[in-house]
Amino acid sequence: MDLGIRGRVALVAASTGGLGRAVAEALASEGASVVVAGRRGELAEEIAAQLPEAVAVQADLSAPGGPQALVEAAREAYGDPDILILNGPGPRPGPAAGLDTGDLAAAVDSLLLAQQRLVALTLPAMRSRGWGRILAIGSSGIAAPLPGLALSNAGRAALAAYLKTLATEVAADGVTVNLLLPGRIATDRVAVLDAARAEREQRPVTEVEAASKATIPAGRYGTPVEFGAFAAFLCGAPASYITGTAPRCDGGLVRSL
């Protein structure tokens, strides 16, 4: 399938690892010009050098002026982005009871406010051209809040509500807005969560991983490549009538429709 994004400009936030990197690689393989962004500038350069057409930008979206600097660097390299991938590091695990308000504010700033700033900076050009794709890398916790991840659940749910509202406002302008929700994908983030659970429960990590996989109908963790392919499709021309949705890439993990 031709996704129709050859020559499109894709800005992928937090793409120096995990799912962000997988999406950047998938978009690049479809011919998009990709802006690889992350706090680790040298790593961003290494990744960009491996892609057909890409530039690297060191960016900290939580820093004052971080989103503005990132978008300006993307424009300098390729022009206004056609595709915006919203992504950010997940906050630390923890329960909802006794939640620290400072930690909650930081999670909302990272998972909602920084992403909204990127949208505000890139959306006007998309609307004026009559074509754009905004896709957020979310979490299955939006569909079913995950135990022990209160900060992530709260921040990502807030982003989902904002994007769902936005989708209805810009659909007539040719701009789609979606979230893609990963289940248990084999990334460093999932490895960290498994290790934290193993430490809490005083169990071997291999035992924790086996128990986790047993809850997934597919019987395994997903791969970043599988997630990236789904994301690339949602950014393509064939997905022009898909907006305001939150599909899951989870191997059947979430039992609800």
Segment 150-194, tens digit of pLDDT: 999 999 999 999 999 999 999 999 999 999 999 999 998 899 889
pLDDT in tens, 12-56: 999 999 999 999 999 999 999 999 999 999 999 999 999 999 999
Residue 134, strand partner residues? 84, 177
Amino acid at 138: G
pLDDT at 3: 97
Angle at 83 between CA 79 and CA 84, to 5 degrees: 100
pLDDT at 159: 96
**Mean of pLDDT values over 55-61:** 95
Please give the distance of CA 96 from its chain centroid, rounded to a whole number: 23
Give, to the nearest 10 degrees, the angle between helix 205-214 and helix 188-201: 110
- How much is the mean pLDDT over the chain? 95
pTM of the model: 0.94
- Residue of 175, 133, 167 lying closest to 9 (CA atoms): 133
Q: Is the pLDDT of residue 144 over 90?
A: no
| Long-range Cβ contact pairs of 48-52 (< 8 A, separation 24 or more) | 51/24, 51/25, 52/28
